[in-house]
Amino acid sequence: MDALIAEFERYLRVERNCSPHTRTCYLREVREFGDFYAKMRKKRPEALTLEDLAQVDKLVVRAFMSGLYRRNTARTVARKLASLRAFFAYWVDRDKLPLNPARLVSTPKIGKAAPRYLNVDEMHALLGPDEESASTDPLKTRDRALIDVLYASGIRVSELAALDLGHVSFEYGTLRVLGKGARVRTALIGERALGSLRAYLDLRPVLLAQATESTDALFIDRRGRRVSTGQVYHIVRRRSRERLGGRSESPHTLRHTFGTHLVNEGADLRSVQEMLGHKNIATTQIYTHTSLKRLMAVYDGAHPRARLDAAPRPKPGEAEEDE
């Protein structure tokens, strides 16, 4: 199956122009199915052929998904199913397989949960000043700058890891970002984050001295190599545990925080959509949920005839019970 996956990777890279992060996700999830199906066929995964894949039906796909539900959320299972559909669709389109069995399986229902985000005080705690010694520590200075950039710009973790030195404009306060689908956009970044970035760049040569070769990567690890998305997750989780009473937050929480704070302060959705790099404004509309809750709280607390029975207002999307 290795040769089949390699050809699929080329299709994602050349024809669909998928980002490295997207390709990695697709291939990882296809390999996961390959490992599962190889056990069913009592073969090694690399020995699977198109003839083997032609025997896959919706029952096999359902069995695979059943195992996924034991350790994954519905959203994750849906994403893995989408990767599998894309893989089989590639071979069906080239008349190498008769049908796409993953298309015969329903996508898991995903509830529209409000995005997890930090309030302003929590962000101040997360980005608060470090101890005096941290100002000369290149890793601690990098960590603070990294988190500051994530919150200030709202960019994705994969976009941050891909930033190069030349992608930052201190003059205009912008970042040149390579987003999903290899779409390039300009992200804005505030003065405070730029200040954190300058402090880190002053110490970046200390980290670069450990490298075996030079790199243009903006954020580098202790060995002078470009940070990976996994390392960024680790950095954010570690600092949030230290600063937020043991809570472990993710880079995506900072992206949600960026969008939520903008909408709560009156930014229009179209502008937020552009800043976040959302292709569809429907994706951006999740941030109106928290904004509506805030407006309800203000109204209920300020208007004398808002809630005569003093009962709490139902949350957006919930109906009050009939009496």
On the CB side of 135, how many CA atoms lie within 13 Å of its CA?
5
- Judged against a pLDDT cut of 90, whether residue 175 lies above it is answered with yes
Catalytic residues: 156, 180, 252, 255, 278, 287
Question: Which range marks the domain in which residue 22 is found?
Answer: 2-104
The 10s digit of each residue's pLDDT in 230-269 is: 999 999 999 999 999 999 999 999 999 999 999 888 888 8
**pTM, 2 dp:** 0.66
Residue 231 falls within a domain, yes or no?
yes
124 & 198 share domain: yes
Residues 263 and 129 in one domain: yes
Listing DSSP states for 146-173 in one string gives HHHHHHHH---HHHHHT-BGGGEETTTT
* Position 80 in a domain: yes
Give the CATH number, domain containing residue 168: 1.10.443.10
- How does pLDDT run across 49-98, given as a tens digit for each residue? 999 999 999 999 999 999 998 888 888 999 999 999 999 999 999 999 99
Is the pLDDT confidence value at 134 over 90?
A: no
| 124 lies in the same domain as 245 | yes
Give, in degrees to the nearest 5, the angle at Cα 18 between 14 and 21: 130
- Split at pLDDT 50, 70, 90, the class of 291 is low
Residues 68 and 209 reside in one and the same domain: no
| One-letter amino acid for residue 277 of the chain | G
Q: Are residues 33 and 89 in the same domain?
A: yes
How confident is residue 181, by pLDDT bands cut at 50, 70 and 90? confident
Residue 299 within a domain: no
Q: Identify whether residues 224 and 84 lie together within a single domain.
A: no
Q: Which of helix, strand or coil describes residue 200?
A: helix
Name which of 19-23, 71-75, 299-303 the model is least confident about.
299-303
Domain count, the chain: 2
Report, in angstroms and rounded to the nearest whole number, the Rg of the chain calculated over CA atoms: 23
